């Protein structure tokens, strides 16, 4: 039974996730290279160690929540030298599928799970994240009670790497569907439609999707949308671009045809390069409104 947890990576997601584990009664020892992240976690009841090794020494479980695959693998290599056989080790970062599989292989004596999340910082604070799990059945069963205080939904997706695979598929579709929703509103504006009227049609007709119904890219129809607060994220465009790049790379590696995914990636690349990476990914609608002015061409 897991009682003590090391949490490595106490950033925007990791700190509130670790805090929810503290609230659930676990003893959580964290480590982050950034002093501000350590302080934020301390304020949430997380004990702070002065190294990865000190945090992970003797614990029942380790969770990593880091920016990219290179850091996850670097940290898991260090964990391999310190954790006891049978320790539960979970990575909740968003990384590439091959990176996730390589991480599993680094700890053959441990119970390993890739468990990326969707739900953003709001879900991390509220403990309502969706976890997508990859690993052996036994590992997924072991991870479930540890993830429950942080998650609303825990979805087993298959063997090692399957959690990351599902995450990349979901976020590729999300990027495409947000651009589609934004294009529909931009076209509607040019055709003289009120936002609310078009929303009332789209959200109840065959155009309905999460990007319209729950995260509408224009202000007004959905009060919780970032569009109502000048596109403060939410889910930043730079993070959407990261995920679309991972999806494109995965599609190339396994020779899947994802032309719309590649096009969405290019649009978000242009948007982020234009200096908007910090804005919510639904702000791509402003970029689409100005598309002709910037590109000087008709694309329809
Ligand atoms: P973040 O940059 O806020 O946090 C990452 C933390 O890792 C930072 O505090 C950083 O200092 C720390 N770190 C880096 N190297 C380290 C090391 N060697 N040892 C210990 N700590 C180290 O990022 P985030 O928003 O918390 O995202 C974390 C992961 O979750 C990413 O993979 C991201 O793609 C994914 N994700 C983020 C969101 C979101 O909305 N922010 C949503 C879903 C998934």
Quote the pTM value.
0.94
Contacts 24+ apart (CB under 8 A), 81-87: 81/53, 82/52, 82/53, 82/56, 82/57, 83/56, 83/59, 83/107, 83/110, 84/58, 85/109, 85/110, 86/110, 86/111, 87/59, 87/60, 87/61, 87/62, 87/111
Residue 296 pLDDT: 66
- Residue 120, pLDDT score: 87
Residue 51 pLDDT: 98
> Can you give the C-alpha Rg of the chain in angstroms?
20
| Closest CA to ligand 1's atom 11 | 34
Q: In terms of Cα–Cα distance, which of 175, 186, 299, 196 is closest to 246? A: 175
Listed by start position, the domains of the chain span 4-159, 165-295
Q: What is the mean pLDDT of each run of 10 residues along the chain (300 residues)?
A: 97 97 98 98 98 98 97 98 97 97 98 96 94 98 98 96 98 98 98 98 98 97 97 94 98 97 98 97 97 68
Q: Residue 120 CA: which ligand 1 atom is closest?
A: 40
Q: Which residue CA neighbors atom 7 of ligand 1 most closely?
A: 9
Which residue out of 7, 14, 99, 153 has the highest number of ligand 1 atoms within 8 Å of its CB and is therefore the one to mutate?
14
Alpha helices in 137-236 (DSSP H): 137-147, 162-190, 195-202, 210-213
Q: What is the C-alpha to C-alpha distance for residues 55 and 266, in angstroms, rounded to an integer?
A: 40
Helix (H) or strand (E) holding 133: strand 129-134
Antiparallel, parallel or unpaired: β 111-114 and 117-118:
unpaired
Cα(73) to centroid of ligand 1, in Å? 14
Fold of 165-295: 1.10.1040
Give nearest CA residue, ligand 1 atom 8. 11
The number of CA neighbours under 13 Å toward the Cβ of 129 is 28
Q: Which residues are catalytic?
A: 167
Q: What per-residue confidence (pLDDT) applies to 210?
A: 96
**pLDDT recorded at residue 140:** 98
Ligand 1 center to 33 CA (angstroms): 11
Q: State CA 167 to chain mean position distance.
A: 8
Q: Do the strands 88-91 and 151-158 form a parallel or antiparallel pair, or are they unpaired?
A: unpaired
CATH fold of 4-159, please? Rossmann fold (3.40.50)
pLDDT at residue number 299: 52
Sign of CA dihedral 143, 171, 244, 121: negative
Ligand 1 atom closest to 243 (CA): 34
For residue 223, the CA-to-ligand 1 centroid distance in Å is 28
Please state, in angstroms and as integers, the Cα–Cα distance from residue 270 to each residue in 205, 238, 267, 277, following that order.
31, 11, 5, 10
How close is the Cα of 72 to the center of ligand 1, in Å? 10
Cα(32) to centroid(ligand 1), Å: 10
**Ligand 1: lining residues by beta carbon, under 6 Å:** 8-14, 31-34, 37, 65-67, 71, 75, 93-94, 117, 120-121, 235, 239, 242
């Amino acid at each position: 039974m897991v009682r003590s947890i090391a949490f490595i990576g106490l950033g925007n997601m990791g700190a509130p996730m670790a805090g929810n584990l503290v609230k659930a009664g676990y003893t959580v020892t964290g480590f982050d290279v950034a002093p501000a992240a350590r302080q934020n976690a301390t304020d949430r009841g997380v004990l702070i160690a002065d190294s990865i090794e000190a945090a992970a020494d003797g614990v029942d479980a380790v969770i990593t929540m880091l920016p990219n695959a290179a850091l996850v693998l670097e940290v898991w290599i260090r964990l391999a030298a310190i954790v006891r056989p049978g320790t539960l080790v979970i990575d909740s970062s968003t990384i590439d599928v091959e990176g996730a599989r390589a991480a599993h292989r680094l700890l053959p004596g441990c119970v390993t799970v890739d468990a990326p999340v969707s739900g953003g910082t709001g879900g991390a604070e509220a403990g309502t994240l969706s976890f997508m799990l990859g690993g052996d059945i036994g590992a997924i069963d072991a991870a479930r009670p540890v993830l429950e205080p942080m998650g609303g939904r825990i979805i087993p997706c298959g063997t090692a790497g399957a959690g990351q695979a599902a995450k990349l598929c979901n976020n590729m579709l999300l990027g495409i569907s947000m651009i589609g929703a934004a294009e529909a509103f931009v076209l509607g504006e040019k055709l003289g439609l009120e936002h609310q009227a078009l929303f009332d049609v789209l959200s109840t007709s065959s155009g309905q999707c999460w990007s319209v119904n729950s995260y509408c890219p224009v202000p007004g129809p959905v009060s919780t949308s970032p569009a109502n607060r000048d596109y403060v994220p939410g889910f930043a465009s730079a993070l959407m671009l990261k995920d679309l790049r991972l999806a494109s790379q995965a599609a190339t590696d396994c020779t899947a045809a994802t032309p719309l995914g590649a096009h969405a990636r290019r649009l978000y690349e242009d948007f982020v390069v234009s200096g908007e990476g910090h804005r919510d990914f639904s702000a791509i609608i402003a970029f689409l409104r100005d598309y002709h002015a910037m590109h000087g061409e008709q694309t329809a």
